[in-house]
Structure 1
Amino acid sequence: MIDTKAEITKRLSVLVGLEVSWVSHAGDMLTMQFGPQRQYSLRGREREDGAWALHVQCDWQMQHEGRTIATQENLRGPHERAQDAATHLHELLVGQGLVRVESLSAYDTGGVVVLFSRGYRLAVVSDGVEGDEDWRFFEPGADAVHFVIEDGKVAAESY
């Protein structure tokens, strides 16, 4: 049996010390990139992404100094609303100086809390819906398996 908490901690530990390099969205999914932006080719297209990416499809909450500044709800609804929310987060975490990952805490239920410099905190909470992907973590452009949390557990496709 897989120890979800230990596996999340092991996989995401590479983020500690890296800066947030991009924040965006795809529909109601929060997308974050970490580490320096780099160029690569993917299926014949030139791309530029951070060294690591986190895509969150379950409940999440971004706080600054204990005050909630964004949640998954901000990315639901009209595209313009989601775009405005993602742009605001990008400006806070990337546009106003470096924000680095300081530490993280994982949970047996598939959640994770990421503490950033400058008082930011991201809490990701698994929805616990069977067959639904909660979040994934991967190295953009690399031919490697993505680390996926589904229904609060490490998905089999993660190995």
Structure 2
Amino acid sequence: MLTMQFGPQRRYSFRGREREDGAWALHVQCDWQMEHEDSTVATRLDLRGSDEKAHDTAARLHELLVGQGLVSVESLSAYDTGGMVVLFSRGYRLAVVSDGVEDDEDWRFFAPCVDAAHFVIEDGKVAAESY
């Protein structure tokens, strides 16, 4: 699963551990592709291989999106099919495509450890739990 943090950093406790993460989180379980200008940087398949391959991909993404200076969201386009495209600064682009599998979560956007509804796309549609 691709996980990304957005917004200002905040401290909170999660399962007895102190954490510091962005105010918002995106978890993507369907097909996705991260691009930089005209080249593919990583895809869902890069996180589905061995643990070593997944860790290497996560480290590479972290270095590109955080280690070389934070990127920021410049725009977001959502589609009726449950997909979206997020354009980031410095020429990065995240394309998310719903798998369209019934009762299968595609992606969710939420505030970690905040008692509020999550925005969830399941089977290419907004899930009832989002309301």
TM-score by length of 1: 0.80
Q: Which residue of 1 aligns with 2:7?
A: 35
Give runs of aligned pairs for residues 44-63 of structure 1, distance below 5 A. Answer: 44-63=16-35
Q: Which residue of 1 aligns with 2:42?
A: 70
How many corresponding residue pairs?
131
Alpha-carbon distance in 2 for matches of 1:61, 1:43:
31
- Cα displacement (A) at 1:43: 4.5
Q: Which residue of 1 aligns with 2:125?
A: 153
The answer as to 2:42 corresponding to 1:101 is no
The answer as to 2:52 corresponding to 1:84 is no
Higher strand share: 2
Q: CA RMSD in A?
A: 1.0
The answer as to 2:85 corresponding to 1:138 is no
Alpha-carbon distance in 1 for matches of 2:121, 2:56:
27
- Cα displacement (A) at 1:108: 0.1
- Cα displacement (A) at 1:49: 1.4
Alpha-carbon distance in 2 for matches of 1:92, 1:71:
14
State the one-letter code of the partner of 1:55.
H
SS at match of 1:35: strand
Alpha-carbon distance in 2 for matches of 1:83, 1:41:
24
SS at match of 1:87: helix
TM-score by length of 2: 0.96
Alpha-carbon distance in 2 for matches of 1:56, 1:103:
18
Provide, for residues 6-65 of structure 1, a one-character-per-residue CA deviation record: whole Å limited to 9, x for no partner.
xxxxxxxxxxxxxxxxxxxxxxx0000011221012344322211100000000000000
State the one-letter code of the partner of 1:35.
G
Stretches of structure 1 lacking an aligned partner (at least 5 in a row): 1-28
SS at match of 2:58: helix
Stretches of structure 2 lacking an aligned partner (at least 5 in a row): none
- Cα displacement (A) at 1:77: 1.6
